[in-house]
Amino acid sequence: MKKLLAGSIFAFMLLVLAACGGDDQAADEGDNGEPQDWEPEESIELVAPAGAGGGWDTTARMTAQTLTEEGIIDQDIGVVNQPGAGGAVGWAHIANQGDSPYDLFVSSSPLLLVPLNGQSDYNYEDFTPIANVIADYASFAVRDDAEWDDLNELFEDMKEDPSEITVVGTSAPGSMDHIQFIRFAREAGVDISQISYVSDPDAGGVTQLLNGSADVFSTGVGQIVEQIRSEDIRALAVTSEERLEGEILSEIPTAKEQGIDETFVNWRGFFGPGDMDEAAVEYYEEKLKEMSETEAFAEVRDNYGWDEMFMGSEEYQEFLEQENEVFEEILDELELSAE
């Protein structure tokens, strides 16, 4: 009888322990055995891999502001600038965070271009794409008294002698301002290997135009609106599929309507460390989508001349792979590829 009682007590204890274990497992898994939704328990850091005031910095700050003010994320969100090497310093910082779900960064085309031209040990494959949030576009500007009335006239002169016309941008050779111009010149039939491109990282492109040091400024269209308004410079084209909206922007013709079958979008979105947990990726993807659909962020886009371009993690990954192939081909032609 004692043995029977002892056995019953032991069996009962096993059932209790199993139930407790089941409760612990249920806390970690949903009904289907999948991990439950993840939520941040610490403050979140958004890294802008550049100095204050640029596109990455503005995107990070406006995103943090909207997520907070709209009550989409309750945790504190800080924006940290990590400038240097065209973004590579900031990327290295994130790469050193392991699988942290609290360290994200904003990036765009240089995340593809800079590694391809050998200026970074990290490329997009070392990080986790979370979501793209906006589209920005480039423009090619000249002095108001320049001899070219449209993009075709500029490219016709460049076909004769590309090296006689100097193009300036803020990014390094082989990076965004350079390559966005190259894509259109290439489509127009210009010998892109002979184009004279100079880099002015201190954002002095307009100054170089006005003092005659450069003939064409390749830049983000939003960065030259005020100079166009003051009639110091003219934009020959914008790189979007269709004309943009806005008092000044709507007056700039696309390259496509000038017969040059090419577009370029300066996408900007968010990434996490390479081994980021899938549940955290899903959390941030959902929150960024919610933000993108708010009226508050629509006003942000209008203020900066951005377009909506939301892509979730999987779509973003496919997009990056396709863009990377195009850039690699162009850099090979320019003999700027690291390989």
| Length reported for the chain | 339
- 143 and 242 housed in the same domain: yes
Q: Is residue 34 very low, low, confident or very high in pLDDT (cuts 50, 70, 90)? A: low
| Residue at a domain's end among 265, 294, 322 | 265
- Proportion of the chain above pLDDT 70, given as a percent: 89
Q: Taking the C-alpha atoms of 55, 308, 251 and 146 in order, what is their torsion angle to the nearest 10 degrees?
A: 30
Using CA of residue 167, residue 170, residue 174, residue 175, what is the dihedral sign? negative
CA distances from 53 to 44, 48, 99 (A): 21, 10, 29
CATH number, domain of 221, equals 3.40.190.10
**In sequence order, what DSSP letters do the residues of 160-171 get, joined into one string?**
H-GGGSEEEESS
Tokens of 291: 């933000």
Counted domains in the chain: 2
Does residue 204 sit in helix, strand or coil?
coil
- 146 and 168 housed in the same domain: yes
Domain limits at 177? Answer: 137-265
Stretch among 37-41, 127-131, 184-188, 300-304 having the lowest mean pLDDT = 300-304
- 240 and 148 housed in the same domain: yes
CATH number, domain of 82, equals 3.40.190.150
- 130 and 270 housed in the same domain: yes
Is residue 288, in this structure, part of any structural domain at all? Answer: yes
- 68 and 173 housed in the same domain: no
| Residue at a domain's end among 235, 265, 295 | 265
Contacts of 3 (CB under 8 A, 6+ apart): none
Q: Does 288 have pLDDT greater than 70?
A: yes
Q: Does 231 have pLDDT greater than 60?
A: yes
| Residue at a domain's end among 211, 231, 265 | 265
Task: Tell me which residue of 251, 217, 37 sits closest to 141, measured CA to CA.
Answer: 217
CA distances from 113 to 71, 121, 151 (A): 35, 12, 25
